[in-house]
Every structure is written in C-alpha cells, then in structure tokens.
Structure 1
Amino acid sequence: MDTPAVPMPRDAREREILDSLVGIRDHLLLLKRDRTKYIRTQDVMLIYNQVVQQVRQLNEIRKGERAGENRLDKILESCFQLLSLFFMTIGRTTEAPAAYALTSTIKRLLDHLTESRLFSGKDLDSMAHTLSTLDGVLSNTNEKHSPYMVELLGNREKLCKESLENLRTELATLAGPLREVHEKLISILRSMSSANTKAKFSTNEVQKLQAQLKEIDASRVDGQFRGPDGEPYKGSEKMSDLLDRVLAWSDIVLERKGAIPENFKPVYEKLVSIRNELEKLSITQAWSLRETDLYDYQRELDKIDESRVNGNFLDEDGNPADLYAQRTLLYLIRRSYGYIYYLMISSEPVSEALLPYYNQLQTLKRCLVEVKNSGGVSTVRDLYPYSMKLNSIDNLRVDGKFMVGNDIPEGQGSVNELLAECFDLAYELRIAVEEKPDSE
C-alpha cells in the first residue's frame, strides 16, 4: 500500500521499529487477503501483541516527546487501522482496538460535514450515539490493551465530540419549525446528488425533486420563512440561503445531466465504482462482508480525499475542477465514507467462522416472529421445517460450543442466545396450536 510522502525517522532505533512494523503490516495484509480459511482470534492477538511491544519500545525512545510526524507514525497508523478491522472480523467489536477504525471514519465524516455545512440532525444523532457507545468501551478497557492505543482513541474521540458539538451549535440557530424544512432540504439535495451519479441520468427524477424545492420556496413570504405572526423565524436568512443554494444546484444538475469533464472522468469512475461496491455490501453485508475488506476502500478514499488542494480537485495538469465536478466528486466521497460507517456499526459481535450459523438463526427468528404475529400456524406439522433447521444447527455444537476444528471462535454467547430464542419461539407456536380447539 502507498504511504504518504513523509520523512524517515532520524533515530536509528526508530528505524528498527519501522522495519518491524512494515513486516507486521505486510503480514496483516496477506492475512486479510487469504479467503481459504477464517481469521482466528489467536492469530490476531499474536500480531496485536507484537504491535503493542513495538509501541512500548517507541514510547521509551520518545519519552512522551513528538518532533513531528514521520513514516513510522504512518505505518503504525496502518497497523492499528488493520488490527481494528481484524478485531471486528473476529467478533471482538466491544474492545478498544475495534474502535480505532470507527473513530477514523467518524472523524472523516465530521470533517466533511464541517466543510460543506450541509448536514441534518439525524447525521449528528447517529454519530453521537456511536461515540457514546465508544465511551463505554474505553472506560471498561483492561490492561491487556496498549495504553498508547487507549490514549490515542481517547484523543480522537475528544476531537470528534468537539466537531459534533460545533455542528449541533450551528443547528441550534434554527427555530423549531425550520428544523423539519432543513431536514427536507438536505434529503432533497442528497437525492438529487444520487440521481446525478446514476449510470443513466433521469431528468424526470431531478425535475420532481426540483418541484419539491419550488413548493418550499413558495411557502416563503418576501423571501423569508415567517411564523403565524408574520415575523421571520430565527434562522430564516440562513435557511433561505440554503434553499437558494439547492435550487441553483438543481439547475446545474439539469443542465449538465451527469456529464463529467473528461479530465476528471478517471477519478469519477473510480469513486462511482467504490460507491457502488459499498452500496452492494450494505445490502448483503450479513452474508458477504469481511470487515478487513473495508481497509482497501478506506485507503483509496483517503488518497483521493487528501489529494485535494485547498479543498478542490486538480487534474493531471493542475487545473481545478469546476463547481459541478467538485460537488459531484465530493458527494461520492462522502457517500462512500457513509457506507463504511454504516458497515462498521452494523458489525456483529461474532467471528466470521460463526456468521453463517448466526445469519441463518437471525433469518429463522424473523420468520418465526412473522408467523407468530400473523396468528401462528394451523398444525404442528407446519413447524417441522423450522424445527428441523434448528435441530440441525443445534447438533453442530460440541459440549454446548460451536467448534471449528479445535478452535472455539468468538461469539459463542451471541449464537447460543439466538438459538435459544428461536427454540423458545418455536415452542410457543407449538403450544399455541396444541391448545387451539379442534375446528374440523
């Protein structure tokens, strides 16, 4: 993987640590790409402990002093990022290392929201909830995790919370009745940007969205959003400015019809490909996602995002993108980071080795709940397919554990709990049908 051009460490001892971490990172990348077997907890913990040992040595050398970032810091960041995704993959989602990649993504999203000033209360609520969960993870972490990582996570979380609070303060400048209008405008803007990046541009779809904007525009009086007393709402001017911006964008989208300038086509096509792949994963993630796969998407997005100069994209000749191309590319980057965030918070506390059973049981549970809510079954015979599937999964256990060879993968409690819930639901349906009076 490419590493940003940063200086090499001057200290010979740091260069030794760098060589060790490069080897560890490469080992992690090879392990990530091996799909012939599932990722084992003991393999991940062995590598994690190796990284922790290198960090201890680094702290002894630096003794708390940092003289600017060098290549060692970048490689260490890559190791932590990969290990974080490995912890998710093995099902240890509630431990400090698993939070590292998540805080990276949240920070990216918050930086983009701060830059664009285009966000909704729902965006902030979701990230606030996630950061609150991370509070509990960090406060309950134990000594086996590197104090350096815990401190680093604490600092990153603090930065995220500060950004979040600044954005919330900005939303607070809008009067209550304008909050709903604001949410609607942001939703229309995003729907329009999505339509603008589809393989086949739909003029009709964008025109319908523009019609909604004109309805909101028609509710203004003398260019202001006013209350029943005729006075402008608090934040009316800001809301009017947002509406004008979105209306102007709708005109540009209808004019350009998804046509990206040739000099920005390569990066556009790359971003569309990443967005589409992440979108597919968000639909099928329970069956097809290995969290470590997200690393490659993150690295690609980071490189493109960090290539901007003064916020804009430049082509190979150093020419800046026009407003249309810039906004379109930024939308794709932000949407892709949003999918990565969703996939991370959706990660189940179960090893990938047990995910097939866990996913089957989740499907069975949904079916049984649906049957129960629909009035139950007519005969006990109707329950046979569910009972057979449950028993086949139950019979896979050895002494109450799901084994893979001699390994006991993470997530036993979650899978066993789900299995018990399914058995309880099947039993309840059986009792209910047996207690029904004979209607024949």
Structure 2
Amino acid sequence: METPAIPLPKDEREQQILDRLTVIRDKLLLLKRDRTKYIRTQDVMELYDQLVEQVKQLNHIRKGEHKAENRLDKVLEGCLQLISLFFMTIGRTTEVPAAYALTSTIKRLLDHLTEASLFSPKDLTSISNTLGRLEGIIQNADSEHSPYLVELLAQREALCKSMLANLRKQLDQLDEPLQAVYERLISIMRSMSLANTKAKFSVSEVQKFKSKLKEIQDSMVDGKFVDPEGKELRGSEVVSTLLGRCLLWSDIVLERKGIIPDAFQDKYTILINIRNELEKLSITQAWSLRETDLYDFQRQLDKIDEARVDGNWLDQDGKPAELYVHGTLLYLIRRSYGYIYYLMNSSEPVSEALLPIYNQLQTLKRCLIEVQNSGGVGSVRELYPYSMKLNSIDNMRVDGKFMVGDDIPEGQGNVSELLAECFDLNYELRVAAEELEDAGKETPPSQPAA
C-alpha cells in the first residue's frame, strides 16, 4: 500500500498504534479484495472494534492536543474511510461509521466548488439534504460507537455546513432573474467540458453551446444585465464575469479540440478511465457496485488532486499546466467526486448478500406500479408470472428470515417490507381483475337487432 511521504510519529506509543493500525488496514484491504464470498457483518465488526480500541488509545495519548500531522494520521484516515465503506456494503448505512466516507467526499466537493466558484443551486440543495440526513445519524448515535468518532463526524459535518452557507451567500447576492441565467451558464460550462473530454471531439456540439452563450450576451444592455425598466440587476457583474469565463473556455476548447499535451497525458488518461468507470457504475450500481470498491477510486483521485502546487499541476520541468490542461483535469476530478458522492448516497440499507433479492423486488415493484398506472390487467391469469416470482422469493425465507448459509445478513426488515409491498400491489391488481371478470359474466350478451 502506497503511503504518502509524511513523517513517522516521534512518540513511541504512537508508533505502536501506527503498527497496529497498519495491520488493521491491511486486513480491511484483503477483505475488500476477496470477491469469492460476500462481506459478513461479523468480520467487519471485529475489525471495527479493533479500530475503535486504537482510536481510544490514541485519544488518551494526545488528550485532545495534536498539531503536526504524521504517518499515523494518514493510516488512521485510510482505516476510517475503509471501515465506513464496509458499513455501507453490509447495509448499515444509517450508522455513524457509514457517514464518515460521505463527509470526506462532501468536503472534497465543497472545496472544489469554493475554489472554482462554479456551482448551481441544485448542487447546494443536494449537499444540504445529505448533511441534514447525516446530522440525524450523528444525533441518534448509540453507545456502541466510539464517542471520538461521533465527535469527529459532528465537527466535519459542522465544517461542511459552514462552507455550504458561504457558498449560499454568493448565490443570494444575485437577483432572482439572474439566478436562472447563472444556473444556465453553469450548465453550459459543464456541457462544454463534457464535450471536451469525449472520446471523439465534436466541433459542432461545442459551437452550439457557444451560440447559446452569445444569445445570453446579446440579452445584455451596455454590458449589463437589466430588468424590464432598464435598471441594473443585483449581481450583474458576477454573472457577466462568469459569462466571460464561459466564452473564453468555448474558444479554448474549440482551438484545442480535446488534445492534451504529452506532459500531462498520463494524468489525463487515469482521470478519463476513472470518470468512465464511475459513470458505468452510476448506471448499473444496483447490480454491480460493492461500496468498498470506491476506496480505490478515491485514493487515485486524492493522489492526483493533492499533487497540485499552489492549485496547479507541474510538468517534469516544474512549469505549471496551462489554463486548458488545468481546467480539463479539474473538471474530470470534480466529475468523478460527484459520481462517488452519488453512489454513496444511493447505497441501499441492505447487505450485499441480500442485494440480488432486494434488486429483484425493486424491479417487481416498479413493474407492478407500471401495470397499475396503465389501467391494471384484463384477467387474473396475466398476474401469474408476478405471483410465481413473489412466492418463490417468499419461499426462500427460513423462519421468516433470508439466510445465506448460517448467516442472517443485514437488511432483513427492508427486504421483508419491500416483499410485503409487492404482495399488496399484486393483491390489489388481482382484486380489480376479478371484479372486472365478474362484471363481464353478469352483463348479458347484446341481442342482435330484429
């Protein structure tokens, strides 16, 4: 495992904790890589308890005082990140440890939004909703979880809320009509960046976006955004500056046509591959995602992101990347963190062992709702395939539980509740179909005209 060049702890007691944490981290990595069997709750909890014990000892040594970061902090961060993703994988998504990885990703996103000053109200609303959910998890934390971890999460959540409030202030400086223009410009900027990183560059696609920018520019009066009475709108200068950035970016993208210099080609290739893999997972995540896999993506992204010097990447000669390269690489990093945020947020409160059943029931529920919304079925016979599938899943239970070997995986309540919902929908459709059939029997056939 590659560890950044950060000094070892000077305190002998911290060195001993570092050694034990390294063993725990390696065990977590081995467990993560084993695809031959699903991840069991008891295996995760055993390592979690070991980790909490080391955190307790470290807290006792430092007594709340710690200034310089050393290797121990980095390894501890890796352990907490991994254990958090393991809690998601086993379906314990509403517990404190599961929230840790999400706060890390939110902090990254907010750092980037603040740095770039490119964000829309939708971005902030989504993050705000997630932070609200995490706050509920922290407030309802039980005694099973380390007070240190609960306190750490509360601090991180408060920091994220503070950063979010600062971003909101920037949007609040815009008059309402300009907020819509601002959001449209953000959307165009992101669309151009996406077009710029496609396998095949399309000049016409980017030109269309540039035309939309020109339309917005043409709506200005003497270089300002004004209301119907001709009065300058509040925030006109901010939106005008953003429009200028968008137009400049469109010109640069059309000139460079997606070609990255050799000096930064390696980073670009890595980031393109990460973005593409995460995009695939965002489409198929219900069937193919093991949350612990996100750790490797995060680590690669963090490494490239943290390699910047004064906010920019340097080539082999120490020269900073030009605006085109800088903007392209940053877009890919931000897009990838965005996918990771989405995938973590979409994590189901069900163990990966039960996910195949849970996903089948989700599909069945969607189908039954679709049938119901389209007017139901003409006869009970049409419901046979749904009934047979539901009964086959119901028959998998042993004493009311879905077992995997001798284990009872997490998420039993969620799967049983979803199964019950499907049975209810199926029953409602059957009753409606029976009433339809009975009504057909009672109606006498029409007599032929005399």
Match of 2:401 in 1: 401
Match of 1:167 in 2: 167
Counterpart residue identity of residue 427, structure 1:
Y
Where does 1:109-148 land on structure 2 (aligned, <5 Å)? 109-148=109-148
- Which has the higher Rg, Structure 1 or Structure 2? 2
Match of 1:323 in 2: 323
Match of 2:387 in 1: 387
Give the deviation of 1:378 after TM superposition: 1.0
The DSSP-based 3-state class of the residue aligned with 2:220 is coil
Is 1:83 the equivalent of 2:83? yes
Larger displacement relative to structure 2 (311-320 or 406-415): 311-320
Where does 1:261-276 land on structure 2 (aligned, <5 Å)? 261-276=261-276
Match of 2:278 in 1: 278
Where does 1:356-375 land on structure 2 (aligned, <5 Å)? 356-375=356-375
Name the CA distance, whole Å, in 2 between partners of 1:330 and 1:173.
Answer: 26
Counterpart residue identity of residue 204, structure 1:
S
Name the CA distance, whole Å, in 1 between partners of 2:80 and 2:167.
Answer: 28
Name the CA distance, whole Å, in 2 between partners of 1:10 and 1:178.
Answer: 55
The DSSP-based 3-state class of the residue aligned with 1:232 is coil
Name the CA distance, whole Å, in 1 between partners of 2:369 and 2:232.
Answer: 50
Match of 1:421 in 2: 421
Residues 387-438 of structure 1: per-residue CA shift (max 9 Å, x gap): 1111111110011100011110000011000000000001100000110121
Name the CA distance, whole Å, in 2 between partners of 1:435 and 1:144.
Answer: 53
Give the deviation of 1:316 after TM superposition: 2.5
Name the CA distance, whole Å, in 2 between partners of 1:383 and 1:264.
Answer: 58
Where does 1:154-233 land on structure 2 (aligned, <5 Å)? 154-233=154-233
Name the CA distance, whole Å, in 2 between partners of 1:350 and 1:316.
Answer: 47
Name the CA distance, whole Å, in 2 between partners of 1:237 and 1:14.
Answer: 53
Give the deviation of 1:317 after TM superposition: 2.6
Name the CA distance, whole Å, in 1 between partners of 2:14 and 2:311.
Answer: 34
Residues 311-368 of structure 1: per-residue CA shift (max 9 Å, x gap): 0011223221110000000000000000000000000000000000000000000000
Q: When the two structures are superposed, what TM-score results if normalisation uses the length of structure 1? A: 0.99
Match of 1:92 in 2: 92
Residues 204-225 of structure 1: per-residue CA shift (max 9 Å, x gap): 1111111111111111111111
Residues 9-57 of structure 1: per-residue CA shift (max 9 Å, x gap): 1111111111000000000000000000000111101100001111111
Structure 2: give runs of 5+ residues left out of the alignment: 446-450
Structure 1: give runs of 5+ residues left out of the alignment: none
Name the CA distance, whole Å, in 2 between partners of 1:303 and 1:151.
Answer: 27
Counterpart residue identity of residue 438, structure 1:
G
Match of 1:438 in 2: 440
Name the CA distance, whole Å, in 2 between partners of 1:315 and 1:393.
Answer: 57
Residues 367-399 of structure 1: per-residue CA shift (max 9 Å, x gap): 000000000011111101111111111110011
The DSSP-based 3-state class of the residue aligned with 1:316 is coil
Residues 100-127 of structure 1: per-residue CA shift (max 9 Å, x gap): 0000000000000000001001000000
Match of 2:41 in 1: 41
Match of 2:448 in 1: none
Name the CA distance, whole Å, in 2 between partners of 1:145 and 1:194.
Answer: 42
Where does 1:10-29 land on structure 2 (aligned, <5 Å)? 10-29=10-29
Residues 115-171 of structure 1: per-residue CA shift (max 9 Å, x gap): 000100100000000000011000000111111111111111111111100000011
Alignment length (residue pairs): 440
| Aligned-residue RMSD, C-alpha | 0.9
Name the CA distance, whole Å, in 2 between partners of 1:372 and 1:84.
Answer: 39
Give the deviation of 1:67 after TM superposition: 3.5
Name the CA distance, whole Å, in 2 between partners of 1:58 and 1:231.
Answer: 61
Match of 1:336 in 2: 336
Counterpart residue identity of residue 253, structure 2:
V
Match of 1:310 in 2: 310
The DSSP-based 3-state class of the residue aligned with 1:9 is coil
Give the deviation of 1:60 after TM superposition: 1.7
The DSSP-based 3-state class of the residue aligned with 1:315 is coil
Counterpart residue identity of residue 363, structure 2:
T
Counterpart residue identity of residue 346, structure 1:
S
